[in-house]
Amino acid sequence: MKRTGSTHAMNELVDRLLPGLDGGRRGQVLLPRVWSEAVGEVFARESCPSMLVGGVLQVAVSNSNWLHEMRFMKAQILERLHAMLPDTPMSDIRFKVGPVPRPQDPVDTEPLPELSPGEQLHISEQAACIKDEELRGALEAAMTAHARNKKAGA
Integer Cα distance of 101 and 148 in angstroms: 34
pLDDT of residue 25: 61
Which residue, 87, 46, 99, 36, is CA-closest to 68? 46
Which residue, 63, 64, 65, 60, is CA-closest to 48? 60
pLDDT of residue 77: 96
pLDDT of residue 111: 84
Domain ranges within the chain, ordered by starting residue: 16-97, 117-152
Alpha helices in 51-132 (DSSP H): 64-72, 74-84, 117-127
Q: HSE on the CB side for 24, CA within 13 Å?
A: 10
pLDDT of residue 112: 85
Would you write out the chain's pLDDT as a tens digit for each of its 154 residues? 444 455 555 556 545 555 555 555 656 667 888 899 999 999 999 999 988 888 899 999 999 999 999 999 999 999 999 998 888 889 999 999 999 987 765 555 678 899 999 999 999 999 999 898 888 888 899 999 999 988 888 5
State the fold for domain 16-97.
Answer: GMP Synthetase; Chain A, domain 3 (3.30.300)
What contacts 103, CB < 8 A, 6 or more positions away? none
Tell me if the pTM is above 0.75: no
